[in-house]
């Protein structure tokens, strides 16, 4: 007997940003495997009696291994249960979705993917700016700020990331941004390019700080903090 897995994007944290379909799947789930950033008020939509399993990964904290999370998904589904894998933002953007899909396909378990509000879009909205800007920011690019070991990825397309006409959003990049900023400036990106540090977007702890690429790099070299954050830079970030 095989169950069914719904990969649900929970948005950036505000439960009012959940889609109607996401709420429906949470109410009908037998088990919910959730990330840290998808906890709190969002879980109030889960029906009483459902299993709640925290499987979130946070930098610098003890976290479950990915193969363990994938195995849990398979095991719950093999019991015939309706399972929700709750991921922050949109599950298809730096959410380790592919590894979990592979595990389900290999086990022959059906699934669906329900998109959520991407945290990058929520960060731009919180800052009161668009992700694109006519005539000056025609392209949007998302990039991860660290590799599997926590370091700045060595295979980044620095020429693209230093494009002064692009809207760039760096996920999970607070610790590595000083190094990235040095590389971008060396590639020709002006140090005074507008930048935004958006932390704990859409929650009560939200903090939006406007700066420049050079100034933000200096700030993060001195103090990182533990709030989840996105870094946005480019001509669109001037607001």
Catalytically active residues, by annotation: 35, 57
What six digits make up the tokens of 82?
A: 């309706």
Spatial contact of 116 and 11, defined as CB atoms under 8 Å apart: yes
The residues, any chain, with a CB within 8 Å of residue 134's CB and separated by 6 or more, are none
Question: Do residues 34 and 56 lie in contact, with contact meaning Cβ atoms separated by under 8 Å?
Answer: yes
- Which residues have CB under 8 Å from 40's CB, separation 6+? 13, 203
Rounded to whole angstroms, the Cα distance separating 138 from 131 reads: 9
The count of other CB atoms within 10 Å of the CB of residue 144 is: 15
Helix (H, G, I), strand (E, B) or coil at 121: helix
Q: What angle do CA 112, 74, 101 make, to 5 degrees?
A: 45
Across-strand partners of 54?
A: 34
CB count, 10 Å around CB of 12? 29
């Amino acid at each position: 007997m095989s169950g069914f897995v719904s990969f649900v994007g929970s948005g950036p944290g505000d439960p009012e940003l959940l889609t109607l379909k996401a709420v429906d799947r949470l109410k009908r789930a037998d088990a919910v495997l959730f990330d840290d950033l998808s906890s709190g008020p969002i879980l109030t939509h889960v029906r009483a009696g459902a299993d709640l399993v925290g499987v979130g990964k946070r930098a610098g904290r003890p976290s479950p291994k990915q193969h363990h999370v994938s195995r849990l998904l398979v095991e719950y589904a093999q019991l015939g249960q309706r399972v929700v894998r709750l991921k922050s933002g949109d599950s298809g953007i730096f959410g380790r979705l592919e590894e979990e899909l592979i595990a389900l396909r290999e086990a022959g378990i059906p699934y669906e993917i329900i998109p959520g509000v991407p945290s990058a879009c929520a960060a731009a909205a919180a800052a009161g700016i668009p992700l694109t800007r006519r005539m000056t920011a025609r392209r949007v690019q998302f990039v991860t700020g660290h590799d599997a070991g926590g370091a700045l990825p060595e295979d980044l397309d620095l020429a693209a990331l230093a494009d002064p006409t692009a809207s760039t959003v760096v996920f999970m990049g607070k610790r590595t941004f000083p190094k990235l900023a040095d590389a971008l400036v060396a590639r020709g990106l002006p140090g005074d390019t507008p930048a935004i540090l958006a932390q704990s977007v859409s929650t009560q702890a939200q903090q939006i700080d406007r700066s420049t690429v050079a100034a933000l790099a200096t700030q993060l070299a001195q103090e990182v903090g533990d709030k989840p954050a996105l870094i946005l830079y480019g001509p669109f970030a001037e607001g």
